[in-house]
Amino acid sequence: MSSVVSVFQYLGGLPVTWLLTTLIAYRLALAVHQRCGNSAWLHPVAVATLLLVALLLLTGVDYATYFEGGRYIHMLLGPATVALAVPLYHQLARLRRDWAVLLAGALIGSALAVMVAMILAGWLGASRPTLVAMAAKSVTMPIALGLTEKLDGVVSLTSALVMLTGILGGALTQPLLGLMRIREAHVIGFTLGVVAHGIGTARALQGGQEMGAFAGLAMGLAGLLTALLLPICLRLAGFA
Amino acid sequence: MIEGLIKLLAFQVAGEAIVFLLAVPIPGAVVGMALLFLYLVVRGREDPGLDTFTTAFLRHLSLLFVPAAVGIVAHLDRIADEWAAIAVALLASTITAIAATAATLRWLKR
């Protein structure tokens, strides 16, 4: 019996164990998502994260030990950000035709998301890492985490808020636009991409190719604009 | 497949170099993304090797977010302290951004 316990203790300290556990948790989360009719509230990232957090709390393994294994997956966010240029390029014809309208939509949507979040959170007494996370939360995860590092924020806090924002935006966009009597697929898709980044894009793809393509375009534009302008704006505002 | 990965990493490394040289507070991978976009525009057509790899790679983009998101486990205290501010700011900013983005597109398109 004691040797079984010591084997588990040994494995808990190995990076490969946590690499494996992360992949299993994600696979389970995908199955749950599909089983529940692709519900917007049961996004695979949220379910996988909950499973892993529960496991870490149960076993008493700390995050640093977990991340020794998790870092191999985390590292791929860099090339994944670069890869976003490919779907953006696929929308080149649309981008050439409607670039001014799309740029304005992405700019206004992203700027308001950042300003409302930072002002409200600051007014309600949030700490600095929470404010940095609020500034970065609306863009796609790899860009948000890159921004957080540049702003000396707390990466894991930002990633949690990015995830929550994606789930919230993915679930609220269609009902809210329904209230505004907006039903055009390209507007719904673009809005999903601006407010709910990758999670919104995945959601938009369920609404068809046009909706999905506009969401991917919006995610790329909003991410790029925010990454380029936010650090400069925050510096001018005396925040960073 | 190897070719696609080499290209993505090479553009990221080039982006990191530019960010370092210009000392701008922008993530290197974002500059890499802009460089790859420019490369494709200048090239004038899709890059098949890159296309195949990125499609497969981005299909499981969600997985890449998980290790960072699990880090929430180290911030449960902060969330417990600041949950009201976080919840209000997330909800209000998301609703504002949804309405503003859709209204802008619609207003400018007519």
Model confidence pLDDT, tens digit, residues A38-96: 777 888 888 999 999 999 999 999 999 999 999 999 899 889 888 888 887 888 888 88
Query: Are A52 and A102 found together in one domain?
Result: no
**Last residue of some domain: A75, A103, A130?**
A75
Indicate the pTM of the whole model: 0.82
The torsion angles phi and psi of A201, rounded to 5 degrees, stand at -65, -40
Count of alpha carbons within 13 angstroms of residue B74, beta-carbon side: 18
**Last residue of some domain: A75, A104, A139?**
A75
| pLDDT tens digits along A95-125 | 888 889 999 999 999 999 999 999 999 999 9
pLDDT of residue A240: 65
Contact criterion met (CB < 8 Å) for B90 and A173: no
The torsion angles phi and psi of A61, rounded to 5 degrees, stand at -80, 135
Q: Find the mean pLDDT for residues A185-208.
A: 86
Contact criterion met (CB < 8 Å) for A180 and B99: yes
Query: Are A47 and A137 found together in one domain?
Result: no
Dig out the tokens for B62 from the structure. Answer: 């969600």
According to DSSP, residue A85 is labeled H
CB of B54 less than 8 A from some CB of A: yes
Contact criterion met (CB < 8 Å) for B90 and A117: yes
Query: Are A224 and A133 found together in one domain?
Result: yes
Contact criterion met (CB < 8 Å) for B90 and A164: yes
Query: Are A47 and A156 found together in one domain?
Result: no
Structural domain count of chain A: 2
Query: Are A31 and A118 found together in one domain?
Result: no
Å from B23 to nearest chain A CA? 11
pLDDT of residue A150: 82
Segments forming the whole domain that contains residue A157: 80-236
Between CA A79 and CA A72 the distance in angstroms is 13
Query: Are A221 and A140 found together in one domain?
Result: yes
What end-to-end distance do the CA atoms of chain B give, in Å?
44
Exposure string of A45-72, with b = 16+ CB inside 10 Å and e = fewer, is: bbbbbbbbbebbeeeebebebbbbbbee
